[in-house]
Structure 1
């Protein structure tokens, strides 16, 4: 046996006899008094999830073959570490260390001895300062500092030149800690970065030096009060996914057209004191990003799409939803005719708009698998909807549909019908 998972048990005192065991998971076990002895000569991966413990036993350093160590908690009463146990820093074969959602406040300088470490997850810990020793992790490729209390990064972080993924997401903006106040300049010097997530912070502008990150494939800046995108962002020639959701951006620079590898773009609006904020129209430059496969323009004040939208022939997912919280009329009045010409579409979400009827040309979308038209004042479905031969899911919740066109529509789709007035929906007319 090479893998073993133990959950909610206290009967096991020793696992040394499992001499071929490579992967072990301990879940919801009380380890506060005693740990089961482990097979030191074979164990390569250890996951400890939601277990009560005070520290790690000193014999842990004998796990010389351990490459992956994950000790994480999903509930606060399981958290026990205020400091990273010193014995962890003696596991010099470690390649992955996950101490997420514990009570760690301080990182020991000896962490720098883990020179083979490729992935380090310290998210969900009240860490305020990163020690200089972290820059000794010369093999590090992935670093997650999300929901910590770090307000700035040390300049010495520039030494982590193999770093490919960096996440510093502020999940809760409390009155005590507000997240990053500005874009860390040192990040722009980590030229191997491929994925950067700085969402939900207080960053209000981006540096011109952002242009140095030419290896960047995925950039998430959502939920930051950014108003203007600098020209430097268009130098990210490898960028495939960009999330600007819930920012304060009203327009995109014309040079945005340079991002021709972009496949996913999200620019959703946001509500503030019951007033929607976001795009009034679709930026023309968006329609020239012909490699786009997913576009999310939800929660904006968009009432129509430009004819040039037809250029987005690779688009597979399109979301233009309205606000469920707003009682005043807003959003699309009809399904834009140009949408029916995007024949690669597989998922279309037009929920919470003011659409009264569907166009007959809807039958051209034969690749459509998921269609969400919920919370629109539609009363009738056209026969053309029955031509969507690939449709698997159709959501008509809180519409005003009183009758489905025929049984074919029901057999081809799983219709979710939840009428706001409690009316039942009869089947096709006889």
Structure 2
């Protein structure tokens, strides 16, 4: 009876139940860390570092031989006296809400990666990691940076993007060995003046904050090559920034600037001032500033209110890309065609007069050729006949374009392949721009992947491409021109191109709006004219919050959905040449605002 009673108390489901246990760190992983000095605990579901990371991690290098023998089984090849100090600890992509003070027990750390967690504060013990060189804290919930972090004299890189920082300690300037500082996507309203003491800084990212002004001490950062202040509340840029003699890339998009910044920037190659409120370029101050851009290669002025393009712009002899999309320009100076290196001129969304729209869709070369035709011949100008000497710009490989402009240009050759000698000449260069237009290419040249880390602008227009899967590899891509090819669809992997701003797909064979474009939220310009597109989804288009230019002209749209009027970011919508009945041609002719207003009025209430 007692036996039966005891049997009745047995849990018959015990064998099917699994106990909930905290994530553990295997002894093998710890043994490997003792040998290599590196421990990767990323993405292991750790919730709270005190509870989920065993003390063995923090005590990895301070255990006595007896303790080490108890905690980790050592064989002949794992002798404790041959262990290596832990120098790299990766704890990213977990659910950590705090960091233990025991982190001080790892004084040899040079890299500490805590990005993508839920940290709202940091322990002062971090200040004891005096060997630390890289500190990754992005994608957390930090509201402040402890002063102790500013004592880390060897720190070279600190990433703090995607937190909730509202201010920074004045002691930030003590980090004099910093070369990279990323403070983007926070709530900063100002910067401490001590930031000027970060004299070794080369990259400074301040985008997506609430900055209304920049400290004058930024001028002391004479080694900074890239400064990103996009998406702030800046109304003016201090002229003292002219002392940033190494500055090559300056991003000022989405601010409140009314004037072009006046900067004597001898090394500046790329200036982005799109999405501001700049109205004039022809004032004395503005033309002086244009004259100062002696090394400029890319000038972005899109989405402003510019009405007149001054003749002085022809002084920018190094300019290769000029973006004037979505302004109020009515006429172009014919002298624009004299810019010797201009390869891409973007003018969509301007009320240009005297220039046929079909000419604009044919590309930069045709437009410049037209403008050159409007220049009166200079009788004193010598004929440009061929000479016995070949100029650098006429050579098969233009070394000047590669070395100085970081451009690979091989266009209008009607070639089926791009010669290897072009890629060989650019082997050690960080190429940013490629122009292989007007050839007979059926696929993307395979050697183009040699420039994956740097390439941001690709022109493959006027070729014979039928698909473009390799384009998905270029994660830094911002602009791509695929017009006049034989494309029917785009690969779904293009959604990984999170920096893509503009894509030109005119004159292809698309029968529907490419699905993947709905997923690229960074898009600002989509040109899809002269295809066979028969419908567009306005609800998914509304999610493209940066989309300002959409060209659907000369397609097969039978119906324009009224909800398209809710796409508030659109400033230029081209619908002409489609077989729809409403809105009527008279409304379409009035421009984008009239069309959007009409569509909104048709939305059922």
TM-score normalised by structure 2 residue count: 0.48
- In structure 2, relative to structure 1, the CA distance for the partners of 1:346 and 1:195 (3 Å cut) is farther
Q: Does 1:79 align with 2:176?
A: no
**Which residue number in structure 2 is paired with residue 326 of structure 1?**
none
Q: How does 1:110-259 map to 2 (within 5 A)?
A: 110-170=171-231, 179-207=233-261, 209-210=262-263, 212-229=264-281, 230-231=286-287, 232-259=289-316
Q: Does 1:9 align with 2:46?
A: yes
Q: Does 1:343 align with 2:380?
A: no
SS in 2 for 1:120: strand
Q: Residues of 2 paired with 1:286 and 1:35: CA distance?
A: 63
Q: Does 1:296 align with 2:349?
A: no
Q: Residues of 2 paired with 1:390 and 1:260: CA distance?
A: 35
Give a deviation string over 1:330-353, Cα, whole Å, max 9, x none. xxxxxxxxxxxx726989xxxxxx
How far 1:247 moved relative to its partner?
A: 1.0
Asked if the contact 2:488–2:509 (Cα under 8 Å) also holds between the matched residues in 1, the reply is no
- In structure 2, relative to structure 1, the CA distance for the partners of 1:132 and 1:21 (3 Å cut) is closer
TM-score normalised by structure 1 residue count: 0.66
How far 1:243 moved relative to its partner?
A: 0.9
Structure 1, unmatched stretches of 5+, are 172-178, 270-276, 318-341, 348-363, 372-386, 400-415, 424-430
**Which residue number in structure 2 is paired with residue 427 of structure 1?**
none
How far 1:198 moved relative to its partner?
A: 1.1
**Which residue number in structure 1 is paired with residue 400 of structure 2?**
none
Q: Residues of 1 paired with 2:303 and 2:350: CA distance?
A: 10
Q: Which has the higher contact order (CA 8 A, sep 6+)?
A: 1
Q: Does 1:263 align with 2:359?
A: no
**Which residue number in structure 1 is paired with residue 510 of structure 2?**
396
Q: Residues of 2 paired with 1:389 and 1:304: CA distance?
A: 19
- In structure 2, relative to structure 1, the CA distance for the partners of 1:235 and 1:12 (3 Å cut) is same
Asked if the contact 1:130–1:154 (Cα under 8 Å) also holds between the matched residues in 2, the reply is yes
Q: Does 1:29 align with 2:95?
A: yes
More strand per residue: 1
More helix per residue: 2
Q: Residues of 1 paired with 2:220 and 2:439: CA distance?
A: 44
- In structure 2, relative to structure 1, the CA distance for the partners of 1:395 and 1:58 (3 Å cut) is farther
Asked if the contact 1:280–1:301 (Cα under 8 Å) also holds between the matched residues in 2, the reply is yes
Moved more, 182-191 or 245-254: 182-191
**Which residue number in structure 1 is paired with residue 76 of structure 2?**
none
**Which residue number in structure 2 is paired with residue 59 of structure 1?**
125
Give a deviation string over 1:169-200, Cα, whole Å, max 9, x none. 126xxxxxxx1112322223323211111111
Q: Residues of 2 paired with 1:44 and 1:34: CA distance?
A: 18
**Which residue number in structure 2 is paired with residue 44 of structure 1?**
110
- In structure 2, relative to structure 1, the CA distance for the partners of 1:278 and 1:62 (3 Å cut) is same
Once superposed, what is the RMSD of the aligned Cα atoms? 3.8
Give a deviation string over 1:244-273, Cα, whole Å, max 9, x none. 11011233222222222222221110xxxx
**Which residue number in structure 2 is paired with residue 106 of structure 1?**
167
**Which residue number in structure 2 is paired with residue 328 of structure 1?**
none
Q: Residues of 2 paired with 1:131 and 1:345: CA distance?
A: 55
**Which residue number in structure 2 is paired with residue 332 of structure 1?**
none
Asked if the contact 1:44–1:66 (Cα under 8 Å) also holds between the matched residues in 2, the reply is yes
- Number of corresponding residues: 332
Q: Residues of 1 paired with 2:319 and 2:440: CA distance?
A: 17
How far 1:390 moved relative to its partner?
A: 10
- In structure 2, relative to structure 1, the CA distance for the partners of 1:56 and 1:264 (3 Å cut) is same
Q: Residues of 2 paired with 1:143 and 1:290: CA distance?
A: 32
How far 1:305 moved relative to its partner?
A: 3.2
